[in-house]
């Protein structure tokens, strides 16, 4: 397919990164953690997907706002611990 025919996706301005990054991170992390927790507590039963999807939704409702609050604090802690590269 020629490069001029590639579908171009409209991108958000960089200022949205403050919300988009925790949004995507909370979706992925709550998905993984709730799947592992559900599998450990109930096993791979016939009702696993229904139980896991409920747990995922509940987990995400906590995870997203938590990340919005915690990420700025984590960035400050990491900046104290990790040597920052010199700006050119």
Task: Note the pLDDT tens digit of each residue in 10-24.
Answer: 899 999 999 999 999
pLDDT at site 7: 78
Separation of alpha carbons 18 and 83, rounded Å: 22
For the cut 70, the answer to whether the pLDDT of residue 58 exceeds it is yes
pLDDT at site 2: 58
Residue 43 is classified by DSSP as -
The model's confidence at residue 1, banded by pLDDT at 50, 70 and 90, is low
- Nearest Cα residue to 51 out of 34, 29, 63: 34
pTM value > 0.85: no
pLDDT at site 85: 85
> Taking a C-beta distance cutoff of 8 angstroms, is the pair 64, 22 a contact?
yes
């Amino acid at each position: 397919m020629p490069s001029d025919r590639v579908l171009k996706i409209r991108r958000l301005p960089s200022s949205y990164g403050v919300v988009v990054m925790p949004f995507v991170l909370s979706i992925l992390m709550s998905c993984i953690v709730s799947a592992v927790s559900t599998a450990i507590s109930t096993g791979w039963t016939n009702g696993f997907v229904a139980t896991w999807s409920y747990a995922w939704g509940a987990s995400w409702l906590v995870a997203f706002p938590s990340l919005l609050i915690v990420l700025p604090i984590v960035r400050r802690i990491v900046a104290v611990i990790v040597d920052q590269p010199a700006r050119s």
